[in-house]
């Protein structure tokens, strides 16, 4: 049956009625705790316990089967053992229930039979047009007063807030809820999506885009199954003004292995994930703390107009640390006007430092904070205020926190705080947190969070998403060549075939000719014009240089003759059985900078493109960039700019600026090629020789590997 995910998710988050299927009376077990949590959260609707054995649970009439419930049911929460979950689910389908949460574990994550169980569950969901969250999850929470539902076995119902939190790990949810509870961090929706058998993180992103209660979306993710889908959804959400923060686990191969045994998932390559997130505008977080540090900055305070900050501190040392961190994060210390300076001078003691960072000295009471805060907020060059406090003997911690909250309440400039310490400052921190002033123990974390918010506010999330396509290509010809080659049982194209493929896609290819005799070689070299390069052509030899099959910069007949013989000898030594089709004669470009363009298929994200400067830059400095195809023009440009070596292309230190436009074009053509021909498994254009600006670039060598038949 066709399903409307949005409508179904509404049934899950805003149900009029809930059936807890598999409820029981044993306090401290998941089935009971879920029912109890729903009741304790003061759910705005009707709850029906479903239990074959009990007449009532927690004082509420229980039903034997879902079908016995006399009224319509929006949401069913299944806490049955995994072996019988499909039976209960079938009944839900027949009852016309559209929203389901399966809490139970014992599915894909345990392998074997579990995989089958999960498949069956998904089939039933599709049959009845139901949407399922889970299995193997903690449940969902919606703090919206319209619903107030805690359909989870979490210990706590969080405060209402504007942060949506999604997690593939249920256990992490309990840590996050405990952490957030202590810090008064509220949530709009809190969703543990487990094995995502049916509803995925992508569906949830689209749903949260339209959720007026959600300002910022946080996600813990172990497995990315549909990379392009995730990127598309993320772009849509971000364009709607909602930042997405993701903590992606399984970064290392070992971590991915642990993830595999944990949720039956295989994590992808970490650099690719980095690139994809960047491309989509997703903010990737390093750990849970960083994620919430940034989240509260987005959730609590307005976006800054600029990166010019004022620092107010009662402690010199921490002021220096904050200044260091601010500069490190690319922020600027605002220069105060004469007016502000004289105002500060008049109202602060002579020992105070009235320049930014403002040091109001260790014995500062609330009045001095008030003076400095007022001055900073009134100063036109200041667009955000960072307040620092250490608990010195006279510090009125609580009053100062209240003062900050009061000032913030009336201002459109963001304000952040760092009360350094833990015991004495705790009360003040509590005041800040209740009043939605982002608070950080470390000035360094404060600066970092602000910098991320500032960068997000500055990024134009509306850059054109047009995918350029070239018309001067011959896709059918290429597809036929590939299909033919694969059907012959071969996995790679010869040099000659590769060049024909490149030409069919409009890549600039060097003038070349194939020679089988010395005389022919001399003739062709003269036609092309000296100097030339000579390369062996053989099915058996992929890395031609290693085989001694390439000789550069041949200036005349004699050198060509010599090279011809040398190459044949080298190749014979390297692989005596390799049959040689001939020697390729190629124009030698003298004034060129070598770059590499690459293509690789990834399980999660599909076609990955790579860019880097040739040779040693790639090998030693790993100075390469990745993007997921198809590329926009913006993506292609960004790929190049992201490498440090791009400075060379732009002509540092008297070098010639290179034809970067041509590289962009080549990347875009490669992107089109990658999308059009999924049978190309890997491809290296190495090198693409880039001439000075306006003079083009030439593919000098290429290696194409096809899918195995």
d(CA 551, CA 525): 13
CA 694 to chain centroid: 35
Quick one: which segment of 58-66, 518-526, 649-657, 700-708 binds its own copies (CB under 8 A)?
Answer: 649-657
Q: Which of 51, 91, 167, 433 binds its own copies (CB under 8 A)?
A: 167
Contact status: 324 vs its own copies (CB under 8 A): yes
User: Cα dihedral sign for 493, 495, 501, 506?
Assistant: positive
Residues 621-640 touching its own copies, rule: CB under 8 A, are 621, 623
Q: Which of 39, 60, 341, 442 binds its own copies (CB under 8 A)?
A: 442
Q: Cβ 644 to its own copies, closest distance in Å?
A: 5
Work out whether 647 is an interface residue with its own copies (CB under 8 A).
yes
Cis bond upstream, residue 510 (ω within 30): no
Cβ closer to its own copies: 376 or 668?
Answer: 376
Integer-rounded Cα Rg, in Å, for the chain is: 32
Of residues 38, 172, 217, 688, which one binds its own copies by CB under 8 A? 172
Q: Answer for the pair 651, 452: CB distance below 8 angstroms, yes or no.
A: no
CB atoms within 10 A of CB 272: 21
Q: Which of residues 253-312 bind its own copies (CB under 8 A)?
A: 253-255, 257-259, 261-263, 286-289
ω into residue 135 within 30 of 0, thus cis?
yes
Shortest distance, CB of residue 71 to its own copies, whole angstroms? 30
Draw the binding track, 8-37, toward its own copies (x: CB under 8 A; -: no contact).
--------------------x-x--x----
Least separation in angstroms between CB 540 and its own copies:
20
CB of 98 within 8 A of CB of 83? no
Q: How many residues bind its own copies, per CB under 8 A?
A: 92
Which lies closer to its own copies via its Cβ, residue 353 or residue 494?
353
Find the binder of its own copies among 115, 303, 320, 405 (CB under 8 A). 320
Segment lying near its own copies (by CB under 8 A), choices 357-365, 472-480, 553-561, 657-665: 357-365
d(CA 196, CA 135): 7
Contact residue for its own copies among 420, 493, 690, 697 (CB under 8 A): 420
Q: Is 83 in the site for its own copies (CB under 8 A)?
A: no
The residue (of 420 and 674) whose beta carbon lies closer to its own copies is 420
Distance, CA of 188 to CA of 215 (rounded, Å): 9
112 forms part of the interface with its own copies (CB under 8 A): no
CB 69 to its own copies: min, Å: 27
Shortest Å, Cβ 259 to its own copies: 5
Cα–Cα dist 706/683, whole Å: 9
Length of the chain, in residues = 709
Q: Which of residues 331-350 bind its own copies (CB under 8 A)?
A: 333
- DSSP-based three-state secondary structure for 584: strand
- Selected binder of its own copies within 249, 276, 376, 697 (CB under 8 A): 249
CA 304 → CA 257, 335, 337, 391, 455, distances in Å?
Answer: 41, 17, 20, 29, 10
Quote the Cα angle for 678-684-686, to 5°: 160
Find the part of the chain contacting its own copies (CB under 8 A) among 7-15, 38-46, 163-171, 687-695.
163-171
Count Cβ atoms below 10 Å from residue 682 Cβ, excluding itself: 16
- Selected binder of its own copies within 4, 64, 179, 591 (CB under 8 A): 179
- Subset of residues 542 to 561 that bind its own copies, contact rule: CB under 8 A: 546
Nearer to its own copies, 617 or 626 (CB): 617
CA-based nearest residue to 568, from 539, 548, 542: 548
Q: Is there a contact between 282 and 246 (Cβ–Cβ < 8 Å)?
A: yes
Interacting span for its own copies (CB under 8 A) from 70-78, 202-210, 355-363, 661-669 = 355-363
> How many Å apart are CA 73 and CA 259, to the nearest integer?
36
Q: Does 59 bind its own copies (CB under 8 A)?
A: no
Instruction: Pick the closer one to its own copies by CB: 27 or 488.
Output: 27
Helices (H) then strands (E): counts for the chain: 24, 29
262, two tokens: 């944990």
- In the complex, the smallest distance separating the C-beta of residue 114 from its own copies, rounded to whole angstroms, is 10
Spatial distance between the Cα atoms of 126 and 293, rounded to a whole number of angstroms: 39
The rounded Cα 599 to chain-centroid distance in angstroms is 20
């Amino acid at each position: 049956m066709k399903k409307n995910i949005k409508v179904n998710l509404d049934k899950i988050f805003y149900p009029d009625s809930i059936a807890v299927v598999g409820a029981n009376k044993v306090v401290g077990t998941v089935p009971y705790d879920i029912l109890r949590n729903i009741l304790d959260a003061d759910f705005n609707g009707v709850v029906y316990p479903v239990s074959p054995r009990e007449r009532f649970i927690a004082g509420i009439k229980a039903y034997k089967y879902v079908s016995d419930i006399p009224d319509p049911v929006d949401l069913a929460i299944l806490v049955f053992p995994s072996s019988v979950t499909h039976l209960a689910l079938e009944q839900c389908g027949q009852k016309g229930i559209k929203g389901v949460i399966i809490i139970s574990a014992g599915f894909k994550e345990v392998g074997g039979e579990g995989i089958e169980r999960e498949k069956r569950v998904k089939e039933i969901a599709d049959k009845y047009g139901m949407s399922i969250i889970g299995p193997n999850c903690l449940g969902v929470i919606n703090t919206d007063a319209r619903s107030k539902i805690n359909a989870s076995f979490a210990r706590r119902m969080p405060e209402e807030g504007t942060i949506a939190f999604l997690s593939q790990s249920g256990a992490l949810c309990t840590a996050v809820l405990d952490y957030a509870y202590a810090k008064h961090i509220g949530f709009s929706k809190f969703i543990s999506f487990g094995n995502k058998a049916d509803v995925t993180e992508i569906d949830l992103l689209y749903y949260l885009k339209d959720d007026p209660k959600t300002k910022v979306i946080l996600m813990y993710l172990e497995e990315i199954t549909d990379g392009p889908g995730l990127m598309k959804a993320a772009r849509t959400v971000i364009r709607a003004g909602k930042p997405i923060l993701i903590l992606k686990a399984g970064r290392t191969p070992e971590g991915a292995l642990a993830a595999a045994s944990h949720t039956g998932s295989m994590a992808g390559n970490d650099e690719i994930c980095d690139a994809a997130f960047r491309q989509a505008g997703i903010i990737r977080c390093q750990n849970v703390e960083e994620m919430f540090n940034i989240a509260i900055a987005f959730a609590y305070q307005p976006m800054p107009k600029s990166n010019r900050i004022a620092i107010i501190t009662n402690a010199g040392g921490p002021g220096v640390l904050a200044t260091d961190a601010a500069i490190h994060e690319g922020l600027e210390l605002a220069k105060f006007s004469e007016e502000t300076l004289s105002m500060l001078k008049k109202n602060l003691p002579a020992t105070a430092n009235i320049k930014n960072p403002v040091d109001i000295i260790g014995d500062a009471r609330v009045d001095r904070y008030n003076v400095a805060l007022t001055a900073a907020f009134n100063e036109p060059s200041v667009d955000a205020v960072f307040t620092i406090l250490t608990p010195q003997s006279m510090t009125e911690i609580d009053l100062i926190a209240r003062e900050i909250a009061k000032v913030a309440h009336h201002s459109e400039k963001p304000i952040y705080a760092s009360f350094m310490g833990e015991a004495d400052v705790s009360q003040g921190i509590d005041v800040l947190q209740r009043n939605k002033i982002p608070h950080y123990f470390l000035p360094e974390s404060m600066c970092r969070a602000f910098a991320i918010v500032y960068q997000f506010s500055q990024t134009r999330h509306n850059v054109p998403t047009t995918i350029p396509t070239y018309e001067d290509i011959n896709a059918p010809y290429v597809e036929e060549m590939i299909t033919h080659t694969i059907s012959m049982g071969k996995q790679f194209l010869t040099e000659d075939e590769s060049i024909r493929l490149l030409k069919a896609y409009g890549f600039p290819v060097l003038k070349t000719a194939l020679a089988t005799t010395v005389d022919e070689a001399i003739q062709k070299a003269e036609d092309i014009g000296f100097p030339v390069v000579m390369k062996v052509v053989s099915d058996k030899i992929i890395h031609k240089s290693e085989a001694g099959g390439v000789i550069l910069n041949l200036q005349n007949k004699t050198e060509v003759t010599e090279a011809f013989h040398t190459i044949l000898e080298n190749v014979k030594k390297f692989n005596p059985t390799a049959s040689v089709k001939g020697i390729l004669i190629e124009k030698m470009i003298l004034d060129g900078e070598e770059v590499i363009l690459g293509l690789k298929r990834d399980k999660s994200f599909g076609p990955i493109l790579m860019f880097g400067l040739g040779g040693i830059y790639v090998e030693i400095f790993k100075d390469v960039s990745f993007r997921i195809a198809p590329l926009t023009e913006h993506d292609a440009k960004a790929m190049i700019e992201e490498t440090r070596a791009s400075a060379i292309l732009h002509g540092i230190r008297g070098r010639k600026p290179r034809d970067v436009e041509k590289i962009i074009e080549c990347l875009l053509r490669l992107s089109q090629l990658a999308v059009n021909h999924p049978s190309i498994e890997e491809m290296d254009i190495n090198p693409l020789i880039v001439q000075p600006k306006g003079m083009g670039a030439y593919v000098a060598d290429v290696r194409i590997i096809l899918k195995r038949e």
